[in-house]
Structure formats: structure tokens, C-alpha cells
Chains A and B, each alone.
Chain A
């Protein structure tokens, strides 16, 4: 099975958010960067399928600055075979621009599956996977929590409000992974050592909004601090007062 996994280097969500001097981006001082957690499910799924098939290749592809090489090596340490960095100035706001360079890289790869995490925990677009699929004219299912493949047909499940959709699709296909798809393995220590020796190709690319359409970040701000709240009382005796306040003061009941 030849599988490509598109990954991203993101700021750890445990990071305290501080706005950088430019007023538009995250202040990176003291920030820990990790492999996007949703991408871990994608990498794990690719590794599992290759192991089950007994043969094949797992290629990880990242779009970002040179520092993303470290993230690619994390995926290589988990067991991916080789990596590709599409090196571009970090910090683009535009998912379509990223999808375009990914589609160009993936087009002639002959992949049976192209996997993404359902979204990056820094920008929350949830877009690049399906956009890339659209550009490649490949079937795509997003936010999958289960996956079975029989020959060239796949079945996946995805959560919707109040239910679970069961979806079928032909291969080759693009899938984006949600939490629950699998339990990602840790990069074993031997894997970390082996990662250094695996091929990692760096290709410079241009990320440009085309045709005058695009997203431009004007400002980043922290949400306003909530007003100070108060303890209404202690124990079950305070419940009546709470309900009264919710009705009359907060007006949410």
C-alpha cells in the first residue's frame, strides 16, 4: 500500500497564548512545537495499514519552514519511510494556497491513500484535506473514526450531530482522521535513532493566493477576560438562589 500522510508542525495547545509584536501572530518565545495531534492518528493509520499489507511505503509530507523537518522526523521515528518538506515561509493564513502545493506534490505519487488529520490545532481551518482532494479530484471523507478497506473500496464512519454516518468510497481516496480512529504509537527510542538515516527531501515552494482571492490576517487578539463571577452559596441549599439568578440575572433559563 502506498500511503501519503500530510502533517503539520503546530504550537502545543498547552501553550499560553501571547500575541507577537506584529499583532497578528502567536509569540513563539517559549512555545513548544509538536506534531499536530490529529495528524498522529493519520500517521498511525498509515503505519498500521502498511504493516497489515506487509509491504508498501508511508511518505510524510509537510508544508512549512525549515523547522518542520523536526516534525517530519517525529513521523519518521514513528515508522514512516521517507519525508518531504515543501519549504515555504511559515504563517500563511490561506488553506487553499497550502492545498495547491500539496496537490502538486501528490499528483503523480500513485498513492492508494492520502491521509490528513482532520484539522490543525493552531488554525482550526479543517479545510486543507478536503481542498486537496477536490484539487486532485479524488474521493474524500473527513473526520473519520473508523476505517475498513476491502480491495479498492473503503468504508469509514464519521460523527455527525446525534449520530454516525457510514460512508463508502472508492480508492484511491483522501481521508482526514479524527480522534478515536486509533491509538498513536510513541516514537520508540530506536525509531528516533533510525529517523536520522531515513530520506528527507526539502523542496522550496511558493505559497501564493491566486486570482486575488485569499485570507489575510489583520489582527490576533486574546478573548476578553470574563467578568469576575461569584460563589452563590454552599451545598444544596444554594440551588434555589442559583436558579433564580440564572433566570433573572443571567437570563439563560
Chain B
């Protein structure tokens, strides 16, 4: 019997959607291990939407409060989570491999002397031990790893563990945390342009490449992204990031981000191997390119050959109609 601690994420006092993926993953583990899912979120006060964790399978939801937890506090969070994991005798601690999670999870693991599997895309239990699948080599291969010890720490790749309705009690409580928040302080968050969704978390990614001919033409991609009504993010090939057309945060593939959206639309991207590595786990890939022999068509589920300057605006129009 092993309980699972699911670490949720909030921003500006509201639960981040990716947290529901964490609960879903934790639920799967807990059911296999025969235990409960206890959700934990760190904040400076009540977290709006935290109760949604119950619908995905959290038996309890604890909000740990501290004035210093309004924004992410690396040292304070690691301390609180590790103490909770230890004192609660948890078998597993599950986090999301978001920017915050990627920073936090290893700290928790080191504090606990625990085995840590990061950016997991699959998880199960065999003979009472957690078995995880995680991508390596820029997504060109995957490893099946046995994660041993008590507890184990696991971070989940965003957008893979689709939230599943599995309502549990979700008994809520709030606990004030003593001590200080730590030496590393997030002073502020500089906002990116309004409404922009991170490429690594979006369900839909539209990426542009050299076929756009010049940086100003990325406006075409931006319009298509907007047409999806907030569900899509903008990505870029390495070639255009290196050419300075887009910031490196937009880069998909190789030393950029690896993404797993439901829908990936590659516009004016030839499909050189280093780009493909970053997006080949997308559920559905669409390619738009003027060259019918471009390698991208080999991995695309659907392709349109032709002038992207005519096709993309038409696609934007059609998508816009759907999302009214």
C-alpha cells in the first residue's frame, strides 16, 4: 500500500491546468500501488480552482501557505514537499515537468535521496515498483526505467497525461508553513506578450520556418495561432531562430523544446532531421510546403503542397469559422 503525493502548481492564486495532468498521473500510480492521492499546492493564500483536483482523483487537497509562496520559491518549496513526503511516508511524489517542476523536482529528490525520473511520458507499476518511460536523445529514443526506493520522484511531460475524470473526495485543508522561504527569491515575473501560450504546453502548435522568407511574415503564423482562440502556441524552426527572426523560446527541436501537442502544423519547414526530433510525438502533424519532396511530408499525417502565402490565410479563415 503506497500513497502518492501530487504536487500542483498555481500562478497568481489560480490553479494551473497542467496540475490536473499531475493528478491523473498520480491517480494511475496510486491505483496500481493501492493507495491514495494527496494533492499539495503551495501558495500565499487560497488557490482558485484547486478543487478541480478532486474531479481527477485527489483524495485530499492541501494548500500549504506562506507569505513567500505567492510566487515560486525554490528552496522553501523543496523543503516543504520533502518534509511532507517523508512525514507522510509516501511511495511516490509526482510533479509536472513545467519550468517550475523541472527546477523543483530534482531538489526534492536530492533532499529525499530518492530516485528521480524526469519528463516521463508513460508510467506503470510492475511487482510493486514504478516503471517509467522517458524520452532521450531529443526524442529519438525512449528509455524504460525502473525507479526504486521509497519514495520515488517523477515529473510528467506536459500534455501527455490527458486529465481523466475520476472523482474522489478531494477533502480540502489549508496549512500554514513555518520557516523562511529561502535564499533564492523570485522578485517578479516579466510577462510575455498577452495571451501567449508556451510551446511546450500548448495542445496546438503552429511552427514557421524559412519558407516564410522574412521575419515580418511570421505575422501569418501569429494570425493562425490566434484563430485557434487561445489553444495554440507559436513555434519556430532552428533555422529561423538562429537567423534571429524569433526568440529561442519559440524553437522546436534539437536544442529547442520538445513538444507533444495534439496538432502540430509545420509551415514552410522542410523537415530537416533536427526539427523532426522535437515534434515527432505530436498526435497529428500537418505540413504546408511548396516542395512536394520536402522531407516533412514523410512524417506528416496530412500535407498540403503549394504557396503558404495563399494556404495559411485560407486556413486561418476556416479555423476562425470553427471557433467563431
| Touch test A–B (CB under 8 Å) | yes
Chain A residues near B (Cβ < 8 Å): 11, 13-17, 19, 24, 26, 37-38, 93-96, 99, 121-135, 139-143, 155, 157-170, 179-180, 209-223, 226-227, 229-236, 238-240, 242-243, 245-247, 250, 252-253
Lowest 8 A-B CB distances belong to which pairs?
A: A213-B149, A161-B198, A134-B110, A127-B106, A235-B306, A17-B140, A160-B99, A131-B110
20 A-B residue pairs with Cβ-Cβ distance under 8 Å, sorted by A, are A14-B274, A99-B110, A124-B134, A127-B118, A130-B107, A141-B74, A161-B99, A162-B197, A170-B183, A215-B145, A220-B136, A220-B142, A221-B141, A223-B142, A223-B280, A231-B302, A232-B303, A235-B311, A242-B304, A243-B315
Binds A, one of B31-39, B51-59, B167-175, B282-290: B282-290
Binds A, one of B20-28, B61-69, B210-218, B247-255: B247-255
Which residue of the partner chain, among A13, A143, A226, contacts B102 with CB atoms under 8 Å?
A: A143
Give Cα distance in the complex from A236 to B304, angstroms.
8
Say yes or no: A160 contacts B184, CB within 8 Å: no
Known: A167-B185, A230-B303, A239-B318. A130 touches B106 (CB 8 A): yes
Which residue of the partner chain, among B71, B256, B299, contacts A226 with CB atoms under 8 Å?
A: B299
B87 within 8 A of A: no
Number of B residues near A (Cβ < 8 Å) is 97
Known: A19-B141, A222-B141. A169 touches B183 (CB 8 A): yes
Say yes or no: A246 contacts B136, CB within 8 Å: no
Q: How far is the CB of A169 from chain B (nearest CB, A)?
A: 5
Give Cα distance in the complex from A205 to B246, angstroms.
44
A contact patch SS: mixed
Say yes or no: B190 contacts A219, CB within 8 Å: no
How many A-B pairs with Cβ below 8 Å? 279
Interfacial chain B residues near A226, Cβ < 8 Å: 280, 285, 299, 301
Interfacial chain A residues near B144, Cβ < 8 Å: 217-221
Interfacial chain B residues near A211, Cβ < 8 Å: 113, 149
Say yes or no: B146 contacts A218, CB within 8 Å: yes
Q: How far is the CB of A231 from chain B (nearest CB, A)?
A: 5
Say yes or no: B183 contacts A139, CB within 8 Å: yes
Say yes or no: A164 contacts B183, CB within 8 Å: no
Q: Give the interface centre of B71, B116, B249 by most chain A CB atoms within 10 Å.
A: B116
Give Cα distance in the complex from A215 to B130, angstroms.
10
Known pairs A212-B149, A242-B286, A246-B284 / 7 extra A-B pairs, C-beta < 8 Å: A124-B118, A134-B111, A217-B145, A223-B281, A235-B306, A238-B306, A239-B304
